Structure 1
Amino acid sequence: MAVLAALASNNIRRPAPELAPGGTLVATLVHPSAHDVVAAFGSIWISSGPGGTVARIDPTTDFVTAVITLPDPATMLAVGEDSIWVTSAPGNRVSRIDPATDRVIGSLISGERGALGITVFDGYVWVANHNGDPTGSVAKIDPAKMQVVDLIPVGDEPDAGPTSIVSGAGSIWVGVQNINAVVRINPSTDTIVATIPDRGACREIVADDHGIWVAGGCVAGPGVTRIDPATNAVTEVSNASGNSPAIALGGDSVWYGTTDNFLGRINTTTHRVVGRLKLPGPAWAATVAFGFVWIADREDGLLFKVKPN
């Protein structure tokens, strides 16, 4: 009987141990309609969505040093070619900001409607056009001419094309919600070289030469997935749960933010969540820079500043 009792006690399901926070919230900044956030040129840049502005923030003082007004909504941001690039959705405009003057120095139509995700790679600007007929597309823009030089059809339905886009491992990676996949594009030939099934492909994607990390921001499914660029194989971060619109890569960690107000920290070597911090609000976008994680809360118009532990 004693042996049976011992075996039974060993089989009792115990709750998983609580994870350490992984970081400390050090500031909560007010930024109405905070939509996207990037770091460059010694500053944090945050778009305001329907507010049509991009704010520049000093990461040391947390003060706003400039506000750039756009003629359209300020949706997603990217850095490259000595500029800050901004998409507008609803709409189809891409604007270019000069960080030396904090002024818009150019804009163009992205070739389709619903310009959302944006990245800069290999001398070109790449834009995810969510809307189009017969499909959405990725626009390839020559920044020297400020012209669209190619439109790559992506998706399989009108007005349901790509939403997110990132560059890494020599490729362009595009999240397409309606086909539950990440599409890989060769930037030299502008052709699709792989369509990789991923149920969470809707919100942010981050990448380096070692892995592509996808935030599961739309449907019930994995909180975070990782694509191996050598094989296109997808693995789930098994202990990352929740609807996770925001994701950022910094050092040896991937940080993801959830709609239920958590910031998770993933070890890029073990591919396991090693920290979870409760936030004052839901995450929508994130970046890592200047020794901090910066998380935009679109719902409450806030920007959280977290110091990694």
Structure 2
Amino acid sequence: MAVGFGSLWVADCADNTLNRIDLKNEKLSAVINTGIANPRGETNVVIGDGSVWVASNRSGSITRIDPHDNSISSVIRVDADTYYLSFGLKFLWATTPTGRELEKIDPRTNTLVQRIPVGRDPGFLVAGENAVWVQEQADGTVARISPETGKVTGRVKVSDTLKYGDIDAGGGNIWLRTTTGQTYVVIDPETLDILARVGKESGSGALRYTSSGIWTTSHDIHTLSWWFPTTFRH
């Protein structure tokens, strides 16, 4: 899901559509036939450069939607099994677990401009805090990649595996939702030190950072949690 342009945008994995919900009246305002690359649900919707983006076909495509009229403005060819997206640092970024790559897409030309090798089974990612951060799920690591050079500039070992989970950036930190060991981990983006391991293990789930605190979900036990902000110094 993503929030923008006065709406909540939801990938409907059952119907292979992108659904738009008006935040004012909480009603469905549009159903867009984009397709969904991973109908099992391990995917996301992102907003950037005045558009909404969704991974739309397992064979390798990302669909760009114009929120002003809900039209499909472009379909971008990428590598097969591209499921995970993040928009930031002027580009759209995506990962393909089978290809073990981070893909860099230029929104000005709607083209894939760089493929960057990463670790095993790359999953969710975030572009923020001056870098692109990728969960290397099978390695239990988070990779830091320079958006300018495409080079991996560091890694932090979090656990034996980072299967599923989530990642976000903000407030001078990287926030990593984990499936085992704890609820989430806080990482210093400069030193790559783990600043904190927070909460009890609660299975797979999502995470979003806000300046007021942290939201996490726990899919396996069907809970939504709010964590009050804590200052983590570098």
The equivalent position to 1:204 in structure 2, one of 203, 206, 209, is 206
**Within 5 Å, which residues of 2 pair with 1:176-195?**
176-195=178-197
Identity of aligned residues (%): 25
Determine helix, strand or coil for the equivalent of 1:131: helix
What is the alpha-carbon distance in structure 1 between the residues aligned to residue 185 and residue 218 of structure 2?
Answer: 15
CA RMSD of aligned residues (A): 2.1
Give TM-score, length-normalised by structure 1.
0.61
The equivalent position to 2:112 in structure 1, one of 77, 95, 104, is 104
**Within 5 Å, which residues of 2 pair with 1:60-139?**
60-110=68-118, 112-132=119-139, 136-139=140-143
What is the alpha-carbon distance in structure 2 between the residues aligned to residue 79 and residue 97 of structure 1?
Answer: 9
Give TM-score, length-normalised by structure 2.
0.80
Residue in 2 that maps onto 1:54: 62
Determine helix, strand or coil for the equivalent of 1:203: coil
Residues 247-298 of structure 1: CA deviation (Å, up to 9, x unaligned):
xxxxxxxxxxxxxxxxxxxxxxxxxxxxxxxxxxxxxxxxxxxxxxxxxxxx
- Runs of 4+ in structure 1 deviating by more than 4 angstroms, as ranges, are 159-162, 198-201
Provide closer, same or farther for how the CA distance between residues 66 and 213 of structure 1 changes in structure 2, counting only shifts above 3 A. Answer: same
Question: Does residue 148 of structure 2 align to residue 144 of structure 1?
Answer: yes
Provide closer, same or farther for how the CA distance between residues 145 and 174 of structure 1 changes in structure 2, counting only shifts above 3 A. Answer: same
Superposition deviation, residue 190 in structure 1? 0.6
What is the alpha-carbon distance in structure 1 between the residues aligned to residue 85 and residue 79 of structure 2?
Answer: 15
Residue in 2 that maps onto 1:220: 221
What is the alpha-carbon distance in structure 2 between the residues aligned to residue 170 and residue 49 of structure 1?
Answer: 34
Would you say the 8 A contact 1:138–1:162 is kept in 2?
no
Superposition deviation, residue 160 in structure 1? 4.4
The equivalent position to 1:25 in structure 2, one of 15, 28, 33, is 28
What is the alpha-carbon distance in structure 2 between the residues aligned to residue 49 and residue 64 of structure 1?
Answer: 14
**Which ranges in structure 1 are unaligned for 5 or more consecutive residues?**
1-20, 233-309
What is the alpha-carbon distance in structure 2 between the residues aligned to residue 208 and residue 71 of structure 1?
Answer: 32
Aligned residues: 204
Would you say the 8 A contact 1:129–1:162 is kept in 2?
no
**Which ranges in structure 2 are unaligned for 5 or more consecutive residues?**
1-23, 38-42
Q: Larger relative contact order (C-alpha < 8 A, sep ≥ 6)?
A: 1
Provide closer, same or farther for how the CA distance between residues 142 and 230 of structure 1 changes in structure 2, counting only shifts above 3 A. Answer: same
Superposition deviation, residue 212 in structure 1? 1.2
